[in-house]
Amino acid sequence: MPVARSEFPKTADAVVVGGGTIGGWCAYFLAKAGLRDVVVIEKDRLGQGASSRAAGIVRSQGGTRWAVDLAEWSRAFYLSQRDELGVDSGFTAQGYFLPCFTAADVAAAESRMAMQREAGLAVEWLDSDEADRRNPTMRPGATLGGTFFAGDGYITPPRNVLAYAVALAQAGVAVREGVRFTGLAAAGGRVTGVETSAGAITTERVVLTGGPTLAAVGALAGINIPVGGVRHQVAVTEPHPEFEPSRLPMVFDLVAGLYWRPEERGLLFGMSNPDEPPGKAREIDYAYLDKVRQRLAELVPASDGLGLRRTWAATIDFTPDHLPILGPAITADGVLAGVTVAAPGGHGMMWGPGVARAAADLALGGTTTVTDTTDLGLDRFDADGNSRLDADPIALPFPERTASR
């Protein structure tokens, strides 16, 4: 029986820690799979972590098979939401262009495209002229061409929070906001419950999420999780006739760590400073914003000198190899059965539903068909947080080390 809304649940079939996009959708998938008593505990309010502050980019043009699989699963989910839930995350298929500026970029794009096509993605190569034709807002001749996938797009992050809040309510999940996870109870190598600021919950199944603060969540349970947080900035220009959405595919200037897309007839652009030290975002770095605007103006002349109607800085999560973490919890005593760790590695809009569904599958039966998670667990990291996997090459230039190391 779902617990009364006013009561604090004493037992649950599953407890999900964190009410961001990963925890929110994961709890929904657990309930949809048939669990009756699913509880989400969120120390603040649903979506008040990274999930409401993202830029919303959804890109299937990933640098690894995991990235393609997770994004494709998520994209299909976004497209199915209205039929399934009656609400949606606002997914808009805008098309995404990843330009090449050097011969080395072209070679990397060609091998990436081969992997993506093998995975079933209808990614196209646009030569320089075709790229200029499809994106008249970019300075002609600026690129050597690049890859393009028409299915890539963006969601509206606050609308996504609304969508999973509705989904959780519809599925009868007990959401407890303002409740802090404080630790796990275990016996014989298995989890037996969670401890929270509002009391204990007996359960055999726990999913730990936490976005940029997941390392701290793990530390409360003796689990070393190498996830960091770092400042990430987004800005939206005033409207301009050049930025009519039909003539403005999204663009990712990978080397500059700069991406943009249409927003409210202006340009939304996001940026990641590779020299930014890990830590919580407290304010906007205007010097870096100005530097990035120069690069943007070189590539998109109409953006030069435009007013900004919104700017924000928020803390984005990252993993040392830019890949998600999906697997069992590991403590000093080994695997802690019944606890699944889920981190989207800074890609929670593009991979979020896929990561959430894979985490729910792992929590329920130990396997998933979303993507091959064999190598994505915590056991890929050494004690210093170094991963034995190659980093996903199509990621923002986050710091390579997490804050705790």
Ligand X SMILES: Cc1cc2nc3c(=O)[nH]c(=O)nc-3n(C[C@H](O)[C@H](O)[C@H](O)COP(=O)(O)OP(=O)(O)OC[C@H]3O[C@@H](n4cnc5c(N)ncnc54)[C@H](O)[C@@H]3O)c2cc1C
Of 15, 17, 191, 206, the one binding ligand X by CB under 6 A: 17
Matching residue, tokens 């993202």: 54
Of 9, 20, 262, 320, the one binding ligand X by CB under 6 A: 20
Residues within window 273-302 making contact with ligand X, judged by CB under 6 A = none
The residues that bridge with 187 in the sheet, in sequence order, are 190
How open is the CA angle 355-357-363, to the nearest 5 degrees?
100
Q: Rounded to the nearest whole angstrom, what is the least distance from the CB of residue 227 to ligand X in the complex?
A: 9
- 399 scored as a contact of ligand X (CB under 6 A): no
Q: Rounded to the nearest whole angstrom, what is the least distance from the CB of residue 311 to ligand X in the complex?
A: 10
One-character DSSP codes across 142-179? -SS-EEEETT-EE--HHHHHHHHHHHHHHHT-EEEET-
- 211 scored as a contact of ligand X (CB under 6 A): yes
Which of 105/317 has CB closer to ligand X? 317
Residues 169-198, mask of contacts with ligand X (x by CB under 6 A): -----------xx-----------------
- 209 scored as a contact of ligand X (CB under 6 A): yes
Is beta strand 228-237 parallel, antiparallel or unpaired with respect to 250-253?
unpaired
How open is the CA angle 374-380-381, to the nearest 5 degrees?
160
Residues 308-347, mask of contacts with ligand X (x by CB under 6 A): ------xxxx--------------------------x-xx
Of 56, 151, 193, 320, the one binding ligand X by CB under 6 A: 56
Answer for the pair 361, 34: CB distance below 8 angstroms, yes or no.
Answer: no
Residues 80-119, mask of contacts with ligand X (x by CB under 6 A): ----------------------------------------
Matching residue, tokens 């080395």: 104
The residues that bridge with 228 in the sheet, in sequence order, are 318
CA distance 227 to 110: 31
- 22 scored as a contact of ligand X (CB under 6 A): yes
Quote the tokens at residue 346: 């800074």
How many residues form the binding site for ligand X (CB under 6 A)? 41
CA distance 370 to 95: 23
Contacts of 256 (CB under 8 A, 6+ apart): 271, 292, 295
Of 50, 121, 126, 221, the one binding ligand X by CB under 6 A: 50
Binding site for ligand X (CB under 6 A): 17-23, 41-44, 48-51, 53-57, 180-181, 209-213, 217, 232, 234, 270, 314-317, 344, 346-350
